[in-house]
Amino acid sequence: MLYYSLNHQSPKVTFAEAAVRGQAPDKGLYFPEHIPQLPKGFIKNIRSYSKEELGFIVMKPYIGESIPDDVLKQIVAETINFDFPLVKVTDDIYSLELFHGPTLAFKDVGARFMSRCLGYFNRHAYHHTTVLVATSGDTGGAVANGFLGVDGVEVIILYPSGKVSPIQELQLTTCGQNITALEVQGNFDDCQAIVKQAFMDADLMGKLSLTSANSINVARWLPQQLYYFFAYRQWQQEHPPVICVPSGNFGNICAGLVAHLSGLPVKHFIAACNANDAVPEFLKTGNYQSKQAVATISNAMDVGNPSNFVRILELFNNELPALQNVLSSYSIDDATTAATIKNVYEQHNYMLDPHGAVAYYALNQYLNSRAHLNSPSEPVPIHREAGGGIFLETAHPVKFPDTVEEATNTKIPFPESVQYLQGKEKKSIVMPASFEAFKEWLMKR
């Protein structure tokens, strides 16, 4: 498998080269030259495979000869060595819980896979690789945990000051060792812009071996396909599910779309967004307009210009009607998000985090909109979309205690896996939202 730049001005590269570089020299995102098709009979027999076997079969075509099979099997096994339960919330809505990894967020999968790939690629290197990552919340903690102690790799995390939750901040600022946290006085888009500019700066690229751990990196983006297969492996309905994904930078749902185009049965995808509505507006109007990020209670989705949406367009040859046949998108405000957390807890005894709440509400809206109505004046469905759907619960509610506890009037138990964070003090370097300040700091290191 080779990867080409979406700017089409750079040579094709192997998976290893794409993972180490992060972005192509022409500043485009790397994209696989084709979407591999699943082996014949794979879906029919999906429940006969272990998670590890399934993961290897899905990922092997994307890796090619960059990693030996025995090493790739070990990387996959270490990446997914926790549960991905599909939990029934209502008669036709299920939650795919992706918060059972070490940092309680879906991004553990991509971060663990990428860190182990880079560790393998750097095993004989005599120089350090510097990993840059911008985070709106969960990416930073997952990357810090995944790369902690990896030889030959230094990680620098940029996060927006005051715009991540307390646990998220502790997860990315208390690691030490090869992990450094920069507290940027701006929003996520500012952090992301600094990282992107770093890869275009000749001085930095000449001095340092830089790569990105954001979902622009193929080693972080592509393994996110796996939990869509894990969801289908547990799906008991006759019809394929509608899948709703809380979406910020759009790497997660893009991975799901790749899985679908490779042969995974999915009836429809929904990108559930908060007030940052560039994609919902595009799907309505056909005009894409990046926007300044708006702060919301679902902070990990506070992205005004999602980097991975260009990959989604590539999957559908930039043809809007083809994309609209597969993908819908909703924008959900904070008041509705908080009310959804409250209502689902009271009615179904299920505790949502704000991102899962956005996805649950959007999925419910879609299923209702697809129902047959008695009459236009009586919006009571006779039956909803056959089969129902799955929403992705991408982070543990404990990461958002103020919002969730206020909505549910319930104290969230502190999971044992993160109790070690209690009492720790953050260690961060405060920095203005300025590339020049970042460059000066990085060059002096």
Question: What pLDDT, in 10s, does the model give residues 15-47?
Answer: 999 998 888 999 899 999 999 999 999 999 999
Name the active-site residue from 12, 60, 107, 284.
Answer: 107
Domain locations in the chain as residue ranges: 86-104+221-415
CA quadruple 12, 17, 18, 24: dihedral, nearest 10? -60
pTM to 2 decimal places: 0.89
| Alpha-carbon gap, residue 320 to 323, rounded angstroms | 5
* Longest CA–CA separation in the chain, Å: 71
For the domain covering 86-104+221-415, report its CATH number: 3.40.50.1100
8 Å CB contact between 431 and 185: yes
327 DSSP 8-state letter: E
Establish whether 27 is a catalytic residue. no
User: Which H or E run contains 390?
Assistant: strand 389-393
Sheet holding 13-14, edge to edge: 13-14, 2-5, 30-32
Residue 185 identity: Q
DSSP state of 102: T
**pLDDT (tens digit per residue) in 56-66:** 999 999 999 99
Q: Give me the average pLDDT of each 10-residue run along the chain (445 residues).
A: 97 95 91 97 96 98 97 97 97 96 92 92 78 85 89 91 88 91 93 90 88 88 97 95 96 97 97 96 93 89 92 97 96 97 97 97 92 45 70 94 94 84 89 96 90
Q: Taking Cα atoms as reference points, which of 125, 18, 30 lies closest to residue 66?
A: 18
